[in-house]
Chain A
C-alpha cells in the first residue's frame, strides 16, 4: 500500500540543525511532489516547502527561506528536510505529504510525523 514512513523523534539544542527523512513506498516516487508541513503545539498546520520528486525542483515558504533545505534520493525513494539555526519556536511535529503534479488532488498521503524538540 502507499505509505510514507518518517524518521524518529529528535531533540536538539538551539542553534543546531535537524534532518528528517521520509521514505515512500507503494507508488512511483518521481511522479509526485513531496511537501513538508509542521504543526507546533496548539497551532495550525504550516506548509514549509516542497520538492518535485522527478526533477528535484524546490520551493520554500518565505517564512523558512534561508533556513530550510529539502532534498531527495530517488534511488531510495526518500525525501529529506533539513532545518538550520533551530530555535525553541521550531518545536513541532513535522510531516511529509505527497501531491500529484499541480497538487490538483490535495495532499492525499501523509507521513506519521516526526517530533522535533528544541531545548537547551
Chain B
C-alpha cells in the first residue's frame, strides 16, 4: 500500500497569511493526488485534483503543486472560512489519505 504523510500535523496562522502544507507519498504516484478540506461534522470537500487542477467553485487562493512523491497545497491570503483540516489523497493505486493537517487561528 502507498503511505501518505502530511506535514505539519497542526499549523497556526492568521487571517491574510500564506500557508503551505506538504504531502509525501511512499512511492511515486505521478500526479494522481487530490486535496480535501474538512470542517467538523461535515463531509470532505474536494479542492484540488491531479495535483494542481482547481475544482470548480473553489477560490483561486488555493493552489496545488508537485509530482512523483512530493506535493504541496498553498493557501494565499487566508480567510476565516479556511480554518479547517486538510487531507491529501493518492489515487494512483486505489486510494489512501494523509493523516490530515489542522489549520488553526493563531
Pair count A-B, CB < 8 A: 57
With a cutoff of 8 Å between Cβ atoms, the chain A residues found around residue B97 in the complex are 44-47
A108-B100 in contact given A47-B94, A95-B43 (Cβ < 8 Å): no
Is there a chain A Cβ closer than 8 Å to B34's Cβ? Answer: yes
With a cutoff of 8 Å between Cβ atoms, the chain B residues found around residue A108 in the complex are 46, 49, 55
Report the minimal beta-carbon distance from B1 to chain A, rounded to whole angstroms: 8
Instruction: With CB as the reference atom, state the residue of chain A lying closest to B1.
Output: A62
With a cutoff of 8 Å between Cβ atoms, the chain A residues found around residue B87 in the complex are 44-45
| Partner-B contacts on A (CB < 8 A) | 35, 37, 44-47, 59, 61-62, 95, 97, 103-108, 110-113
With a cutoff of 8 Å between Cβ atoms, the chain B residues found around residue A105 in the complex are 46, 49-50, 53, 55
Query: How many residues of B are counted as interface, with CB atoms below 8 angstroms from the partner's CB atoms?
Result: 23
| Partner-A contacts on B (CB < 8 A) | 1, 34, 36, 42-46, 48-50, 53, 55, 87, 89, 91, 94-100
With a cutoff of 8 Å between Cβ atoms, the chain B residues found around residue A104 in the complex are 49-50
CA distance A47 to B98 in the complex (A): 12
CA distance A46 to B4 in the complex (A): 12
